[in-house]
A and B are shown apart, each in its own frame.
Chain A
């Protein structure tokens, strides 16, 4: 990994005329954006062969700040749009920047089906356990008991574990870190960007303004300390019982496999079609 300064990364990859970002003080999205740009920089990927797609939410504003082709779409639908882009031009690398509500609630169906197809796309997922942009409502990821404006007395529903959902749906690569795991995060994104098929790197990312202050964590450092308390590295988690894992979030690499991606599968399908049709 090279250690270019953050200024160099900014000047190289961000649209200066779109700054400042919309992100609040203490928000983790900027950190994850930097991890992603550093991964691209380290891999020396061609800026003109990457398309960023997103849906709606704070994290979905990221494609507007980066100097790449970008499609900022409707809430939850980014991966369906990405399917069209990738299948028409398989040479393009697609990065989908999504939030937890975007991916797991309104976009849940597109999410699991994009994974089932093994669409060749890298999803960078910001999980802040809340709807930040609309002011702190509970999300499908909100852990039981945590407060949001639409469950002001504490979440009573079960949360989705997005990483496990992606593993079960058939993703080729799934990792989860917190924004605190700088090196692991960048390495996971680098790995994800180089793999065929669906790859997901999820980050627990602080939202002190909409989420933290409703849950006795008014600042980002308080949320990061909370992450330290609730996260369990995957190797240790495998030795723990279901009861011990209650209320914990597992971090690490969940899966790393090489099933054929959608582009390859379709290419083979076209060959088969032409053979059968005698074309």
Chain B
């Protein structure tokens, strides 16, 4: 396989570009999108590269159509992605729920900008974290990854495709305008160094008839591909294991939705990724995700120099959320600071996890600037002096 960009070496590129290259190396061959700042460069890179690797890149009439097209592409057997920002992500929520309900592997990238509404199109924010998790209606489960560097934008996009295929689920990559447009050096592995996971296909006639069954007991049904003789019927209505609509059967609905929850929640250990810095002897912790965690890391170093025993828990995955890990952290420290570029979203998850064992303090910031390390230091110093 020949790629129209550097592989097995490093390149100095934007986060958007890194996401596009990672998608192609992860096997993505279908992209549908609609222009939006700050995610347009992902589309532009896909438009440049995909025709050269015999993939399809198509501009749809809106973001609703974009996510619809990638779901269709996935059922036709392709790995597929779309990318957008807040306003477009809002439009995608309906079909994001459809992808959850029909267990369709897709990757949706949301490069967050200031909101609500049109807000601050060119500036970063972390205001869509709750929307990424809870944006679509009804009980649902999906996976949300948050990169903090251009390298992570690359790595997490590959991972997003693999998790989508492995668990037959939509995966959201939640970046921001800073990572979208920032240029950093990225190591792009050789193709053979990238681990690529493919969805499991039906292996027996029984599995062909049960595209929403659970033959392996892991909650993940093998996925038939259209045009291969399976004659699969896929619906967003509540359906039984064979795919037949069963809209007024309480038990079938509960069995379906709980399996969709179980296939993710039973595999938290595989899905959830995080990094700890200087937490061994910490009396104070910072929990952060995405671009802010870089300032938080610098703040840890500055505070350590001043003798404050502080450490950082950087979350790569914000959903599913490891409440137990936060509880264990809360048992060890007396206060947890949560810096985030919104008025409190991750904060609520951390607070729930801490179960009152440690005080949880929000360090909010909105308006389109990432917290400086100094701002985090100042807030923690003030908080610890009390």
- On chain A, the residues within 8 Å of B62 by CB distance are 109
Asked whether A74 is an interface residue with its Cβ less than 8 Å from the other chain, the reply is: yes
Map CB proximity to A onto B35-70 as digits: 1 under 8 Å, 0 otherwise: 000000000000000011010101011101110111
Asked whether B6 is an interface residue with its Cβ less than 8 Å from the other chain, the reply is: no
Contact of A274 among B30, B52, B77, B231 (CB under 8 A): B52
How many angstroms from the CA of A279 to the CA of B237 in the assembled complex? Answer: 45
Tell me which residues from 54 to 87 in chain A have a Cβ below 8 Å from any Cβ of chain B: 61, 63-64, 67-74, 77, 80-87
B234 touches A266 (CB 8 A): no
The total of interchain contacts (Cβ-Cβ below 8 angstroms) comes to 138
Asked whether B278 is an interface residue with its Cβ less than 8 Å from the other chain, the reply is: no
A64 touches B60 (CB 8 A): no
Contact of B227 among A48, A77, A82, A84 (CB under 8 A): A48
How many angstroms from the CA of A89 to the CA of B73 in the assembled complex? Answer: 8
- On chain B, the residues within 8 Å of A110 by CB distance are 61, 64-65, 68
B64 touches A85 (CB 8 A): no
Asked whether A226 is an interface residue with its Cβ less than 8 Å from the other chain, the reply is: no
B226 touches A69 (CB 8 A): yes
- On chain A, the residues within 8 Å of B72 by CB distance are 53, 71, 80-86, 88
Map CB proximity to B onto A103-125 as digits: 1 under 8 Å, 0 otherwise: 00000011001000000000000
Contact of A269 among B4, B51, B61, B228 (CB under 8 A): B51
Contact A270 B226, CB 8 Å, known A64-B245, A85-B76: no
- Residue on B with the closest CB to A91? B227
A interface residues, how many (CB within 8 angstroms) = 42
How many angstroms from the CA of A279 to the CA of B72 in the assembled complex? Answer: 29
Map CB proximity to A onto B343-364 as digits: 1 under 8 Å, 0 otherwise: 0000000000000000000000
Taking the nearest CB of chain A, how far is it from the CB of B140, in angstroms?
A: 14
Map CB proximity to B onto A167-189 as digits: 1 under 8 Å, 0 otherwise: 00000000000000000000000
Asked whether B80 is an interface residue with its Cβ less than 8 Å from the other chain, the reply is: yes
A84 touches B69 (CB 8 A): yes
Asked whether B173 is an interface residue with its Cβ less than 8 Å from the other chain, the reply is: no
Asked whether A29 is an interface residue with its Cβ less than 8 Å from the other chain, the reply is: no
- On chain A, the residues within 8 Å of B229 by CB distance are 48
Contact of B69 among A51, A81, A273 (CB under 8 A): A81
- On chain A, the residues within 8 Å of B235 by CB distance are 64, 72
Tell me which residues from 171 to 211 in chain A have a Cβ below 8 Å from any Cβ of chain B: none
- Residue on B with the closest CB to A262? B58
Main DSSP-derived SS at the A contact region: helix
A279 touches B52 (CB 8 A): yes
Map CB proximity to A onto B230-249 as digits: 1 under 8 Å, 0 otherwise: 11111111000000110000
Of listed A51, A81, A109, A279, residue having the most chain B CB within 10 A: A81
- On chain B, the residues within 8 Å of A269 by CB distance are 51
Of listed B30, B58, B62, B226, residue having the most chain A CB within 10 A: B226
A84 touches B71 (CB 8 A): yes
Of listed B51, B70, B244, residue having the most chain A CB within 10 A: B51
B227 touches A81 (CB 8 A): no
- Residue on B with the closest CB to A68? B231
How many angstroms from the CA of A47 to the CA of B226 in the assembled complex? Answer: 12
How many angstroms from the CA of A49 to the CA of B228 in the assembled complex? Answer: 8
Contact of A64 among B56, B98, B233 (CB under 8 A): B233
Of listed A67, A81, A88, A266, residue having the most chain B CB within 10 A: A88
A63 touches B227 (CB 8 A): no
How many angstroms from the CA of A273 to the CA of B57 in the assembled complex? Answer: 12
Taking the nearest CB of chain B, how far is it from the CB of A273, in angstroms?
A: 4
Contact A87 B245, CB 8 Å, known A72-B233, A109-B61: no
Asked whether B74 is an interface residue with its Cβ less than 8 Å from the other chain, the reply is: yes
Of listed A67, A109, A270, residue having the most chain B CB within 10 A: A270
- Residue on A with the closest CB to B235? A72
Asked whether B220 is an interface residue with its Cβ less than 8 Å from the other chain, the reply is: no
How many angstroms from the CA of A72 to the CA of B95 in the assembled complex? Answer: 12
- On chain A, the residues within 8 Å of B29 by CB distance are 88
How many angstroms from the CA of A61 to the CA of B235 in the assembled complex? Answer: 9
B32 touches A72 (CB 8 A): no
Taking the nearest CB of chain B, how far is it from the CB of A267, in angstroms?
A: 10
How many angstroms from the CA of A63 to the CA of B236 in the assembled complex? Answer: 13
Contact A70 B233, CB 8 Å, known A88-B30, A92-B226: yes
- Residue on A with the closest CB to B228? A48
Asked whether A277 is an interface residue with its Cβ less than 8 Å from the other chain, the reply is: yes
Contact A73 B73, CB 8 Å, known A48-B229, A83-B60: no
A87 touches B65 (CB 8 A): no
Map CB proximity to B onto A14-44 as digits: 1 under 8 Å, 0 otherwise: 0101100000000000000000000000000
A84 touches B73 (CB 8 A): yes
Tell me which residues from 86 to 141 in chain B have a Cβ below 8 Å from any Cβ of chain A: 94-95, 98
A266 touches B227 (CB 8 A): no
B64 touches A87 (CB 8 A): no
Contact A74 B94, CB 8 Å, known A64-B233, A69-B226, A69-B230: yes
Contact A69 B236, CB 8 Å, known A74-B94, A82-B72, A84-B70: no
Taking the nearest CB of chain B, how far is it from the CB of A275, in angstroms?
A: 11
Taking the nearest CB of chain B, how far is it from the CB of A139, in angstroms?
A: 20
- On chain A, the residues within 8 Å of B227 by CB distance are 48-49, 51, 69, 89, 91-92
Contact A87 B4, CB 8 Å, known A80-B68, A81-B68, A113-B65: no
Taking the nearest CB of chain B, how far is it from the CB of A277, in angstroms?
A: 6
**6 sampled A-B residue pairs with Cβ under 8 A:** A72-B236, A74-B68, A84-B72, A85-B73, A88-B72, A110-B65
Interface contacts beyond A84-B68, A113-B65: sample of 14 additional A-B pairs, CB < 8 Å, sorted by A = A49-B227, A53-B72, A64-B233, A64-B235, A64-B245, A70-B234, A80-B61, A81-B71, A81-B72, A83-B65, A83-B72, A84-B32, A85-B73, A109-B62
Task: Name the 9 nearest CB pairs between A and B, nearest first.
Answer: A84-B72, A84-B73, A80-B68, A80-B65, A88-B76, A273-B51, A81-B72, A84-B69, A72-B235
